Amino acid sequence: MTDMTDRIDALMKGAVDLHIHSGPSLHPRKLDHIAAVREADEQGMAAILLKDHYYPTMPVARLINENCGFTTQAIGSIVLNNPLGGLNPAAVDYALKQGARVVWMATAHAKNHMDHEADKPGFKFPQNTAKTVAPVPLTLTDDNGAVRDEVKHILDLIAEADAVVSGGHHHARELLPFYEEAKARGVKRLFLNHPTYVNDCSFQEIAHLVGMGVKMEHSACMFIESTFTMFDTGHLKSVIDAAGVENTFFGTDLGQKNNPNPAEGMRMMIELLLDCGYADDEVRQMTTTVGAELVGLAA
């Protein structure tokens, strides 16, 4: 066994992946939720989060945790796209009271995301396997740039539950007032996924958000070899520099067909970070500690 393999094996023990797209789903998936947790368990990971763009996963996570005998914990979440009524406080209320730990604002049905799909040929995002009703585009702010009342209600519910929130796939111009409102309403667990992908954040905006207490999650699938590869190691180092190791973590964002499995993807991301010169303790921060603390996992 090589020294690199030993280092990766050690860093996988206790690792946390807060961004897994297993199935069933309307998007083509390579593995189901149980298989994803099983693979993580075989690697000694502490927890993985199950995310679907169109339905809440906390009932699935609970069934897995209570019946499958894995050491790895499955974490449930909710994404506020059209099938759940969009930016719907009632959906959030019920999800949080059934154990969801992470709430995403709209992703595939954010107006910003839909604009990207319409205006940018080759925009990399999975397509549904069945035709669905036309989505209604969603925004966090109104025409005057003010955070919508229903979003404020959602943030109050998240604060009350001490849950975690992400701005989803909305644009940076919406995200800045959104996170300011979240902080003002007492939300303490804040993060943003792939800020330089569909959100179009500059490095300066990343630094500004971090200064507000927002952690940055980057998608491993955009850096390692996959169908979503789009960033080089120079970009990787720049986004880490913009936020700092202590405010940066990696989810794989994997589970799609024709891609590495999530556990394999996390191993590949760890190897890439080590190859880029990050020390083992820095890699552990970005693949275990920051994410674990964000969702409130015991050390």
Average pLDDT, 10 consecutive residues per value, the chain (299 residues): 90 98 90 98 98 97 98 98 98 98 97 88 70 93 97 98 98 98 98 96 98 98 96 98 98 96 98 98 98 90
Looking at residue 130, its pLDDT comes to: 80
Strands lying side by side in the sheet with 189-193: 77-79, 102-104, 164-166, 189-193, 214-219, 248-251
**Structure-block tokens of residue 172:** 């940076």
290: left (phi over 0), alpha (psi -120 to 50) or beta: alpha
Set out the domains of the chain in order of their start, with CATH numbers: 3-295 (3.20.20.140)
Looking at residue 164, its pLDDT comes to: 98
Q: With CA atoms as reference, report the closest residue to 245 among 223, 278, 269.
A: 278
Is the model's pTM score more than 0.85?
A: yes
Contacts of 19 (CB under 8 A, 6+ apart): 49, 51, 193, 217, 219, 251, 252, 253
